[in-house]
Chain A
């Protein structure tokens, strides 16, 4: 198997891994942000991602808006959706046990999936084509789709922007304060609701960007399309150390590369590709319970 593989095939697989991994990274950042601040695993994140894909589909294929207008509207609507979900499903439970919050998140996830099935039918919709992004060009025998190069660049830019916001701006400082100690932050006069809303807005915007790029690469839109990416990106966030933005990117890339490399080196195991995510998760959690870049949790007494 390995012997028969040429350098060209191997390089092509690395390109595949980089683009899938960066997509995972983009979505994983959203998970990690919300967890970092609220200690909540937002299980609806994958479905927010799915809704963003539908917003884009409707903007371009149904209402014939230009793509740049559609992208702005999509990001706006998705942010609104994220903030609304937080307002309706999470805020009333803020002082409730974390388990209730988690169950509420799962409820929102099912609600979004079923609403989407009801409104948009269970049939796949074809996402509009972006020839500029998808027409491949070849270097040697290697095929590059422009979108596969754009994805890692966008992921890197957004990660840097996010790190800047968190570390250098006032709202970022407030976010970090809330993450460290919710009650004390409140006593210090930080407007908790505003901070949490902005967290959800940013997380959802990232999901929207992820969805747009995802659909350019895999142009079909389905009500359940967010389930598997949601799960995998959650795993990516945990691998990198949930709550840590750089960790989410690292986790996403590790996951993307391992999936593709497993397919490359063990073609007979390709049907188990999804299992690799869980295997990596278990191994990392066994040795590094806080993930690769996660901080050690100190229990307060």
Chain B
């Protein structure tokens, strides 16, 4: 009885495995009548909420513009599980098994950086949507991005802390396993030290790992250092827990952070404690700067009528898709190298988040950031900052 059961189970397993393999197409999509674009995002694990928001934007854009060069565009969504090792495999699978001609994503600079070598050696262009670390595109001719970079974002937040909040002493809490967080913390530090002229302006630094839940130890140290402001760029869940625990310890200093905070989970997990938290981000849905932005907002509200606000990364997902399709059209073919060349030549492309021109590094030249805060349980526009 038991043996039969075991045999049946293993048979079922083999069948599903074979079925899984055979469903993948083996011909290059450049020659067929569909063009496959890979969407490479964390859909499970610590960053899942961020990945999901970007996928929403990409899918919305795909519904609005489902065809290019007379061919249907098919999205192949791959989950990189918020894990750097898994990210490399997921990108390789998109290229080798699904034969995509371009890749969009990923939320999280570390995950994008992990896929860098794969897209480079396979010569498949990739467009990072909200990955802000310079390393994503540096030294990689095949990685592009539609958002601003961390040296810029760090400067914006340092200015905000110094000029708007009149901070003299800042504490930093960074997610050491995350290139985005460490990079942004460093650029913030450089800029803030320069602004205040005080080399000791950073009075305490706390490190944690993705997935940590207890921050009382580092927060107790920070409380003793008594900073004016705490800069804590990092993943949304951990950041919300940090702020909660800080308030429970009696820390009253304001918390400021980066673009990764703008997910609903930041507010649902943080509750009343994240009220007043301030972050920089890419897009303000109440005041889109371009016609494309207005179209995006209108279409998003039609597709998701129950959402109260639109995350900036969703707009970037939309832009990444539209810019890639624009490049395919200009290239006149779905050949990955031709698409890469067309992406590199992108000039004054009208995106939902602003005009996009790709520079020599493959980065979008953007000099405006939106500052938002949490007010009455919602992300609310506070200010927009332009730095030349």
Mark A residues whose CB is within 8 Å of B.
Answer: 4-6, 8-9, 12-13, 16, 20, 92, 117, 121-126, 129, 134, 136, 138, 141, 143, 145, 214, 217-220, 222-225, 227-228, 259-260, 263-264, 267-268, 270-271, 273-274
Contact = CB atoms under 8 A, between A and B. Distances in A.
A123 B214 contact: no
Contacts of B212: 228, 273-274
B277 to A, nearest CB: 15
Contacts of A117: 44
A96 to B, nearest CB: 11
B88 to A, nearest CB: 19
Residue with the highest number of chain B CB atoms closer than 10 Å, among A12, A123, A143, A260: A123
Contacts of B265: 123-124, 126, 220
Contacts of B20: none
A227 B209 CA distance: 14
B199 interface: no
B224 A4 contact: yes
Nearest to B218: A270
Contact of A270 (B208, B237, B248): B208
Given A92-B2, A260-B216, A219 B269 contact: yes
Given A117-B44, A129-B271, A136-B250, A267 B221 contact: yes
A230 to B, nearest CB: 12
Interface stretch (B45-53, B122-130, B140-148, B336-344): B45-53
Contacts of B214: 16, 20, 217-218
B45 A9 contact: no
A202 to B, nearest CB: 25
B217 A263 contact: yes
B35 interface: no
A154 B52 CA distance: 39
Contact of A9 (B42, B211, B213, B221): B221
A264 B250 contact: no
Interface in B271-286: 271
B205 A13 contact: no
B209 A271 contact: yes
Q: Which 7 A-B pairs have the closest CB atoms?
A: A122-B44, A263-B217, A271-B207, A122-B48, A271-B176, A218-B213, A126-B268
Contacts of A263: 217-218, 220-221
B240 interface: yes
Given A136-B249, A220-B240, A274-B209, A16 B52 contact: no
Interface residues of B, number: 40
B220 A220 contact: no
Contacts of B217: 13, 16, 259-260, 263-264, 270, 273
13 contacts: A13-B217, A122-B48, A122-B82, A125-B268, A134-B248, A136-B249, A138-B250, A222-B46, A225-B213, A227-B211, A259-B217, A263-B220, A273-B217
Contacts of A271: 176-177, 207-209
Nearest to B267: A126
Nearest to A272: B207
B211 A228 contact: yes
Interface of B: 2, 42-46, 48-49, 52, 82, 176-177, 204-209, 211-214, 216-218, 220-221, 223-224, 237, 240-241, 244, 248-250, 265, 268-269, 271
B248 A222 contact: no
A220 to B, nearest CB: 5
Nearest to A14: B220
A159 to B, nearest CB: 21
B176 A124 contact: no
B276 to A, nearest CB: 18
Residue with the highest number of chain B CB atoms closer than 10 Å, among A8, A124, A268: A124
B220 A13 contact: yes
Residue with the highest number of chain B CB atoms closer than 10 Å, among A5, A6, A9, A271: A271
Given A220-B240, A259-B217, A270-B217, A121 B48 contact: yes
A6 B176 contact: no
Residue with the highest number of chain B CB atoms closer than 10 Å, among A4, A214, A224, A267: A267
Contact of B220 (A9, A92, A124, A268): A9
A218 B46 CA distance: 15
Given A124-B269, A138-B250, A223-B44, A267 B49 contact: no
Nearest to A8: B224
A126 B250 contact: no
Residue with the highest number of chain B CB atoms closer than 10 Å, among A117, A214, A268: A117
Contacts of A273: 208-209, 212, 217
A224 B209 CA distance: 14
Nearest to A263: B217
A141 B252 CA distance: 13
Contacts of B248: 134, 136, 143, 145
Given A123-B49, A124-B49, A9 B44 contact: no
A211 to B, nearest CB: 12
A72 B2 CA distance: 36
Contacts of B241: 218-220
Contact of B269 (A5, A6, A126, A134): A126
A222 B1 CA distance: 38
A227 B236 CA distance: 19
A268 to B, nearest CB: 8
Contacts of B177: 271
A270 B250 contact: no
